[in-house]
Each structure stands twice: as C-alpha cells, then as structure tokens.
Amino acid sequence: MVRVKICGITNARDARACVDAGADYIGFVLFGGSPRFVSPDRIRRIIQEVGIADCEAATVGVFVDEPPGAVAAALKSSGLQAAQLHGREPASALGLDDNESPLRGRAYKGLRPASMEEAERLAGEYALAYRDGRDRLPSFLLDANHPVLPGGTGHRADWRIAAHLAGAYRLMLAGGLKPDNVRRAVDEVRPWAVDVASGVESSPGRKDLRAVREFIEAAKGGRSR
C-alpha cells in the first residue's frame, strides 16, 4: 500500500489529526522563506504534545540549502527523525559514501527535473541505497519543476517522468496532489509514497482536516508496487 506524507505541519492540532487519519510521515518545513516555516523548538513541542515519537508515523524536516552539520543539529534539537533536502544540495550532503557524514542514513533528496534526461541523471546521482537503516526513506522525492521556488507551489509534477522512475526507485511523488487526483496519480505512477502540503490546506500552514482524511483514504485505496 502506498505511503502518505502530509507536509507543512505547523501546529499540534493538525499533526494529531494527520496521525489519526493514518499518515505515515509528518513533515515540517524549516525553510525561512516558506509560509509554513516552524522552528526546531516549536517542532519539538508539537512532537511531544502529540506523542508522535511513540506512534507509527515518522517525522521529516524539509531543509533548503543548509549545510549538513546545521541540518543534523536541527534534527537533534527538534527531535525529527529524517531530513528532506529540497534545495541545490550536492549529492555529497546525503553522506552516501561517507561514514562520518552527520546525515548518513537520515536524509533523502527532493528532485525537480525539467526533462526526462535530467530526471534520469539526477536519480542516478542522488538515489539512496538501502543500507544503514534507510528502509523507511524513499530513494528520493520527485516534485514539480519551478524556475525559482524550491517547492510548495501547488504545481503538478510530470507524471510521465515519475512513472518512468518509479519502475526503478522508491519514489515519493509530490507536486499538485489533492484529494481528487491522488488516486489517479497512484494508479498511473505507482509511486512508493505520495506527499502533499497545499493540496489539503484551508490556508498556508493550516490543514483542512476533511481534505486530509479524503486524501489519505484516496491514496491508500489506489494501487502501488
């Protein structure tokens, strides 16, 4: 069954509702340029209040162009389990071949390819290998290409590219997903996981709880590898 990540959580109410609805991943944005930004201290309070650490849902922090050491420090101070690197970070930031890297086994990359050729190149460069406890992480996340913004645009990713890559990688699909199109995305792309933020919001950083439930139900009712 496809896994679901609800991203852009900013408060305990929404986090609790997402966990109760069956989300597999709860995402927090630690990028100051986002309207969904939350600080590490605030994230720690939310995690503690909701008790996310004691449930099945994994917690992920979204970072943009932060040094690996700073990301690792934020993970520690917030209590987050993994990092999604969503900027222009080099593959070396993931620590794929560095046993001393602070993010080894704890981070995956968000990719925003503009073409099939670029997608294949980036996937080969950034895809995680499954060792060192990475079994709960995707190979990478595929988002919509945007010339300026790193994510959260509401634009739809290229499902043709996504379906091609999903045949070879544990792909988390993001970009323009909503309750009314996520099942079709799962059926056409057959991703390992799906990710949504703005598609289930009443306003930036505030979730529409009915939309959250509908999204998760629709996603998990579709097919997946």
Contact 60, 74 (CB under 8 A): no
Lowest mean pLDDT, pick from 125-129, 130-134, 187-191: 130-134
In the set 7, 18, 24, 158, the catalytic residue is 7
55 is catalytic: no
**Hey, where are the domains in the chain?**
3-221
The answer to whether the CB of 143 falls within 8 A of the CB of 177 is: no
The pTM of the full predicted model, rounded to 2 decimals, is: 0.92
Q: State residue 154's pLDDT score.
A: 64
Tell me the pLDDT band of 105, cut-offs 50, 70 and 90: confident
Q: What are phi and psi of 85, to 5 degrees?
A: -90, 115
Mean pLDDT of the 201-224 span: 90
Range of 55-64, 94-103, 127-136, 169-178 with top mean pLDDT: 169-178
CATH number attached to the domain at 3-221:
3.20.20.70
- Nearest-5° angle of CA 138, CA 139, CA 141? 70
Rg (alpha carbons) of the chain, rounded to whole number: 16
Residue 224 pLDDT grade (very low, low, confident, very high; cuts 50, 70, 90): very low
The question of whether 143 is a catalytic residue gets the answer: yes
Q: What percentage of residues in the chain have a pLDDT greater than 70? A: 92
pLDDT of residue 98: 79
Q: Which residue has tokens 């950083």?
A: 205
Q: How far apart are CA 172 and CA 190, in angstroms?
A: 10
User: Of 14, 24, 143, 195, which one is the catalytic site residue?
Assistant: 143
| Least-confidence region, from 92-96, 135-139, 145-149 | 145-149
Place of tokens 């079994």: 135
Q: Read off the pLDDT of each residue in 133-150 and give the average, rounded to a whole number.
A: 75
Which of 133-142, 143-152, 167-176, 192-201 bottoms out in mean pLDDT, i.e. has the lowest?
A: 143-152
Position 215 scores a pLDDT of 98
Average pLDDT over residues 2-16: 97
Q: What is the C-alpha separation between 60 and 81, in angstroms, rounded?
A: 6
Tens of pLDDT, residues 15-71: 999 999 999 999 999 999 999 999 999 999 999 999 887 777 899 999 999 999 999
**Who contacts 125 (Cβ-Cβ below 8 Å, separation ≥6)?**
91
Average pLDDT over residues 190-218: 97
